[in-house]
Amino acid sequence: MKMIKSLIVASSVALVACQHTPEQPKVSVAKAVTTHASSQMNYGIYKSKNNNHKPVVALVLGSGGARGYAHIGAIEILEENGIKPDFIVGTSAGSIVGSIYASGKSAQQLREIALKMNVSDVRDINIGIKGFLDGKKVENYVNKHVGNTALEQLPIPMYVVATELKHGNKVVFNHGNTGQAVRASVSIPSMFVPTKIAGTEYVDGGLVSPVPVNIARELGADIVIAVDILAQPIHTETKNVWGMFNQNINIMQSKLAAEELKNADIVIRPDLREKAHIFDVKGRENTMQAGRDETLSYIPKIKNLLATAQEGKSEANRYLVAKEKK
């Protein structure tokens, strides 16, 4: 029984990986999203739509449980340096941070949201055959902070990665209920009850794409900035059953991520050791700071990439204009 309780607590911690969202003034209540989350992907869309000849920048936010707070620190530094993505791709913890940022929140607002988040905001224990947590509170929490805005209507296009349970296929949600898509993306198997959408069950996107760089490339990104917050196997304690379970996941995810990260232009990997509890405010701040510190070291390289890509786009545009005149 003690082991079950420990698993429940641990799963709760993993879930809230990176919840963030400040209390909003009760001025008006947006209509609830009634459309199911769905995938209506148009690959290469950003290459075909790129009429202004500027480099398309994608921000990829990976899975990683409580380490998700580091995503906020990374976004803060990018924003402070005038770097805003044209679209975001997120898995699990990254889908939570990404969707709320995509709704128009500033990096500072993300920080305030993270520091105000309470366990009761996102945890709903419901012990059953398929899991300990239901996930409905996560869905409601995200929808509340995106103003019940559907994925396709978010100011910054957002792509949420999940795993279709029956066949293990990667699914990318980009339409409909934002909170529902995120709920699917964070549904860690055996901890969360799988998220059922239109009769199909979905679980954590980190199982198939822990740092979804390839999706960003397929959509047409010229520059991919990936934030990898996965637990490094070397830092994982393996002295008990829970530690062994974590290590199994960490090894598998690190191998999967390594392949995709080869296709990223920038890989930001904050130095995280998961020593703090997710609901420890100081721990949250330290994790965000780790994201800030690591991202800051990459700013010169990112700016250089942007300048080079812009010059390349401008040169191509000049060539096309000259060709048309002939």
CB neighbours of 113 closer than 8 A, spacing ≥ 6? 19, 20, 21, 22, 100, 105, 145
Q: Return the structure tokens found at 28.
A: 């008006």
* 100-150 pLDDT tens trace: 999 999 999 999 999 998 887 888 787 777 877 888 999 999 999 999 999
With a cut of 70, say whether residue 157 has pLDDT above it: yes
User: If DSSP states are collapsed to H, E and C, what string results for 270-296?
Assistant: CCCCCCCCCCCHHHHHHHHHHHHHHHH
Q: Does domain 55-307 have CATH number 3.30.1440.10?
A: no
* C-alpha dist (Å) from residue 324 to 47, 54, 319: 20, 20, 9
- Residue 200: CB atoms within 10 A of its CB come to 15
Among the listed residues 202, 189, 186, the one whose alpha carbon sits nearest the alpha carbon of residue 36? 202
Reply yes or no on whether 92 is catalytic. yes
The CA distance from 142 to 99, in Å, is 8
User: What's 55's DSSP letter?
Assistant: P
Mean of per-residue pLDDT scores for the chain: 83
Tokens 């890509």, located at residue:
309
What confidence score (pLDDT) does residue 32 get? 56
From the list 204, 222, 228, 265, the catalytic residue is 204
Reply yes or no on whether 204 is catalytic. yes
Contact criterion met (CB below 8 Å) for 75 and 96: no
Q: Compute the CA torsion angle 143, 44, 60, 296 (nearest 10 deg).
A: -120
- Residue 51: which pLDDT band, with cuts at 50, 70 and 90? low
From the list 12, 63, 92, 103, the catalytic residue is 92
Among the listed residues 19, 60, 7, the one whose alpha carbon sits nearest the alpha carbon of residue 210? 60
Largest CA distance in the chain: 79
* 258-283 pLDDT tens trace: 999 999 999 999 998 765 555 565 78
| Mean pLDDT, residues 26-54 | 71
* 282-320 pLDDT tens trace: 789 999 999 999 999 999 999 999 999 888 765 555 444
The CA distance from 183 to 140, in Å, is 9
Pure H helices in the chain: 2-15, 45-49, 69-80, 93-102, 107-116, 119-122, 136-145, 178-185, 213-219, 241-261, 281-296, 299-325
* 173-221 pLDDT tens trace: 999 999 999 999 999 888 889 999 999 999 999 999 999 999 999 999 9
What confidence score (pLDDT) does residue 279 get? 53
Q: Is 123 helix (H, G, I), strand (E, B) or coil?
A: coil
With a cut of 70, say whether residue 16 has pLDDT above it: no
What confidence score (pLDDT) does residue 317 get? 53
